[in-house]
Structure 1
């Protein structure tokens, strides 16, 4: 694969990686930065996420798919003030650090009903168990996504857990050479459904329920063809990027109109 195609595949991965943290730049914009095009640049938040991704990939390529490699990925997340952990690479221990206690709200109304409480203490052996389970598997793409779901549910770090999990899952599948990355859905509705199914995995109390949730996750993922064709236009390249300003936009989940800033999200 030539360098141009490699950067295109990597740009798709980075936009997927960043989709969990409000990454707004398009695949083409990201590729231009990776290509070192003159004048190419991204917003500050997106630049930080891009460097987190590149350094995270480099870290696990160096150490391999093991607990040390997974920790090294999170330790590499140092560029974003808003999205990265205060203690990168630190395994949580809520008995010693109150900031390490994590609860994931699953109720759309924001209540604690049905919330998922991550383990108070995470040890390297917990990551080792995920690695061992994968190494004993048939190493299918489903097994790779199980690594993502398991690490995400474990919440081993203060922040950046899903991003760490996505890089780790790709390391498990060794996608770096062929550039056949595991990526989240690009379509906004499919992406939302993916996250709902991931929450189902979080709250699953048995292995059977986890497998059922993982099956649902797999149904939302883009096909290889969909990934290869994903090349949305940048805002500047759209013919009528301001058309939505003439519309009254309403939130599907409420009767309240969405403010004009939502236009930008719809154009992503």
Structure 2
């Protein structure tokens, strides 16, 4: 998967849910846009998993990053229906719309793994739409620092493994504490803008920036999760 393919999928997914809103069809529409990656070429974008219909939808996931042979497996729900997605939306609609409530949408949707692939990206885009972030520009952004990002993923894995509401609530508090606030996000984005500006001023070299501009930089951090597992 190239960055260009990934950015295109993300942008298409964002546009899809902005047009549809935070609804069941909006969530499905996000995932339907993930068609540019060769890795996902053989999956069914937008298809809700149903083991009774498709054996490939029955998935077990390693939920601990260790080399122990006793690593715990997370068994995904065999069937994900539109009704299950609606229940999640209804819970959010009756919440106080706090940042934590937005991250709960992300964690619950990621844990649900409703699609064959692209679930983390779908969950993050959906959570941002739920919070109105594409209008306010106050994004839910995953940890920008590697150490914090690793801790966040570890907490998310533990969230997958428990159905206890009290424990989930505590894990969410820890996850939210690791995410960057508006000030930290702006500092990082300003540093990137400064870096790109300094590259433009170079007259003795031809340098191609890794990010094609601040918009793509923001998109990169909308998907700031490892690509080796679709947790």
User: Does residue 122 of structure 2 align to residue 164 of structure 1?
Assistant: yes
User: What is the DSSP-based 3-state SS (H/G/I as helix, E as strand, rest coil) of the residue aligned with 1:147?
Assistant: helix
Counterpart Cα distance in 2 of 1:144 and 1:84: 30
Matched, 1:94 2:51: yes
Kindly report structure 1 stretches of 4+ aligned residues shifted beyond 6 Å: none
Structure 1 residue 115 corresponds to structure 2 residue 73: yes
**In 2: Cα distance, 1:93 partner to 1:178 partner:** 36
Aligned match for 1:196, one of 147, 154, 171 = 154
Aligned counterparts, 1:74-153, within 5 A: 74-83=31-40, 86-107=43-64, 108-109=66-67, 111=69, 113-153=71-111
Corresponding residue number in structure 2 for 1:214: 172
Partners of 2:160 and 2:27 in 1: how far apart? Answer: 19
CA distance in 2, matches of 1:145, 1:83: 26
Structure 1 residue 200: Cα displacement = 1.1
Residue from 40, 51, 60 that aligns with 2:17:
60
Shift in alpha-carbon separation, 1:111–1:49, aligned structure 2, 3 A: farther
Q: Distance in 1 between matches of 2:103 and 2:7?
A: 22
Aligned to 1:226: 184
CA distance in 1, matches of 2:115, 2:34: 11
CA distance in 2, matches of 1:53, 1:112: 36
Query: What is the alpha-carbon distance in structure 1 between the residues aligned to residue 80 and residue 68 of structure 2?
Result: 26
Q: CA deviation at 1:70?
A: 0.2
Aligned to 2:226: none
* RMSD between aligned residues: 1.8
Give TM-score scaled by structure 2 length: 0.79
What SS does the corresponding residue of 1:177 show, helix, strand or coil?
helix
Say yes or no: does 1:48 pair with 2:9.
no
Contact 1:84 1:160 in 2 (8 A): no
Deviation at 1:178, TM superposition (A): 1.9
* Deviation (angstroms), 1:130: 0.8
Distance of aligned partners of 1:110 and 1:47 in 2 relative to their CA distance in 1, 3 Å threshold: farther
- TM-aligned CA deviation for residue 91 of structure 1: 0.2
